[in-house]
């Protein structure tokens, strides 16, 4: 998947005009890119459109319109766009109650290493996580982790030929499996992958 360039972005003035329509389109698009694993864990899969939305919102909030500032945002966010053989996701542990969140994040140390995706007939894919910075300590995990799931050519071809997809978490304090992943999510994720011959 190509990375975003400056010419792909709306100017601040143009974005102000198109924002309501663009935002509605992105929210609709994101519905097929959110995978819930149990009640409190979600994988939000990024792609060119979700990343463009994040950049446009940052430029808008920070009122950035100079080339250097725009390029900085592109450099920060472009790594979140999948490369054709992987999925990139923001993994979030979501607990509304503050006290419950505190307790659960201390119980779920190491959860990020126990998330997985699996193409039917292949080994589980465990993510490469938090490449930008360490997000956990020995006493608690972070509520947000960044993950990259690398697929083999065989996995990609199997998915494109109709194989099912499963996902889950193998942490003793949060064991959950989603099997199969819903078709709308699976289909959206297949679009992130480039055919391998």
Position 76 in a domain: yes
Q: Tell me how many domains the chain contains.
A: 1
Position 105 in a domain: yes
Residues with Cβ within 8 Å of residue 5, at least 6 apart in sequence: 74
3-state helix, strand, coil in the chain (%, to 5): 45, 20, 35
Helices marked H in the chain: 12-30, 48-62, 67-77, 98-107, 153-160, 183-190
| Residue 41, domain extent | 6-190
Q: How many CA atoms lie within 13 A of 196 on its CB side?
A: 16
Position 196 in a domain: no
Residue 2: band (very low, low, confident or very high) from pLDDT cuts 50, 70, 90 = confident
Position 195 in a domain: no
pTM of the complete model? 0.90
Position 197 in a domain: no
Position 1 in a domain: no
pLDDT, tens digit, 9 for 90 and up, residues 164-173: 999 999 999 9
Question: What is the C-alpha to C-alpha distance for residues 158 and 172, in angstroms, rounded to an integer?
Answer: 30
Question: What is the C-alpha to C-alpha distance for residues 54 and 73, in angstroms, rounded to an integer?
Answer: 9
Cα–Cα nearest to 6, from 60, 61, 56:
56
Position 18 in a domain: yes
pLDDT, tens digit, 9 for 90 and up, residues 84-131: 999 999 999 999 999 999 999 999 999 999 999 999 999 999 999 987
Position 123 in a domain: yes
């Amino acid at each position: 998947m190509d990375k975003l360039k400056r010419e792909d972005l709306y100017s601040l003035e143009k974005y102000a005009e198109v924002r309501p329509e663009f935002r509605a389109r992105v929210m609709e698009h994101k519905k097929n890119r959110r995978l819930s694993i149990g009640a409190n864990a979600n994988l939000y899969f990024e792609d060119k459109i979700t990343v463009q939305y994040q950049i446009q919102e940052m430029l808008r909030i920070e009122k950035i319109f100079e080339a250097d500032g725009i390029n900085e945002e592109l450099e920060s966010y472009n790594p979140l766009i999948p490369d054709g053989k992987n999925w990139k996701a923001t993994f979030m542990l979501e607990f509304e109650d503050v006290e419950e969140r505190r307790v659960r994040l201390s119980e779920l140390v190491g959860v990020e290493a126990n998330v997985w995706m699996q193409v039917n007939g292949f080994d589980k894919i465990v993510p490469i996580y938090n490449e930008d910075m360490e997000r956990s300590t020995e006493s608690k995990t972070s509520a947000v982790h960044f993950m990259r799931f690398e697929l083999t050519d065989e996995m990609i071809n199997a998915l494109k030929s109709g194989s099912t997809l499963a996902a889950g978490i193998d942490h003793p304090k949060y064991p959950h499996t989603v099997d199969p992943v819903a078709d709308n999510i699976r289909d959206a994720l297949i679009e992130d992958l480039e055919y391998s011959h």
